[in-house]
Amino acid sequence: QKEVEQNSGPLSVPEGAIASLNCTYSDRGSQSFFWYRQYSGKSPELIMSIYSNGDKEDGRFTAQLNKASQYVSLLIRDSQPSDSATYLCAVNRKTSYDKVIFGPGTSLSVIP
Amino acid sequence: GAVVSQHPSWVICKSGTSVKIECRSLDFQATTMFWYRQFPKQSLMLMATSNEGSKATYEQGVEKDKFLINHASLTLSTLTVTSAHPEDSSFYICSGDRGQDSPLHFGNGTRLTVT
């Protein structure tokens, strides 16, 4: 089992719709969870970080965390064509030191 | 947010030569920096964790003698790809660790092409 898994996509949604991105992780001791957006040829940029169970909202983005199910999700409301990118789920798998592991990414395409 | 500067942004080198990539944390001190590699259409793969003043910790399968990491100060880590080969062509990205479960902020990356 991979440490961090995401729905492979590509995911296509019409403009204005809600995009739902999912992520599961294997290390139950993980404490910190992040969503990054990466445009083609660019470095990842942080969208959200979440540390506690429940929902965290920031503008059009909502991250959801369920540690019991080892599940993290990202909802994008009112999707825009500019949201088209690859979304990376990342987990800080604390061992003797911080170690951030990335999922394979989900490609999102928002259709005008 | 944290600012990380990476240089160069792209480099083309001949097979057999060495290339050095610099990663600087501009507004914070990074005891730890991470080096990732990303091949086309793949995710970021952690190569090594760079620790200021001590040896880097390499991930399984990453050759420490090929990818030399130096973290001589709290704001600078360097990755040297030695005796580069075409299969080393990739996108290399660094990040500084602010600790306390803070998210990683990445440099702009270095696209290495080995001919």
CA distance A73 to A63: 6
Q: Which residue of A has its CA nearest to B51?
A: A97
How many other C-beta atoms can be found within 10 angstroms of the C-beta atom of residue B15?
A: 12
CA distance B35 to B87: 17
What is residue B74's predicted lDDT score, i.e. its pLDDT?
Answer: 87
Average of per-residue pLDDT across B81-92: 96
Task: Find how far residue A56's CA is from the centre of its chain.
Answer: 13
What is residue B47's predicted lDDT score, i.e. its pLDDT?
Answer: 95
What is residue B61's predicted lDDT score, i.e. its pLDDT?
Answer: 93
Residue B114 has pLDDT above 80, yes or no: yes
Residue A95 has pLDDT above 70, yes or no: no
What is residue A36's predicted lDDT score, i.e. its pLDDT?
Answer: 96
CA distance A20 to A32: 20
What band does A48 get if pLDDT is binned at 50, 70 and 90? very high
Q: Which residue of A has its CA nearest to B44?
A: A102
Q: Contact B108/A42, CB-based, under 8 Å?
A: yes
Q: Contact A44/B44, CB-based, under 8 Å?
A: yes
Q: Using one digit for the tens of pLDDT, what is the confidence trace for B38-71?
A: 998 888 999 999 888 888 999 999 999 999 999 8
> Which positions ≥6 away from A34 have C-beta within 8 Å?
A46, A48, A49, A50, A89, A90, A91, A92, A100, B103, B104
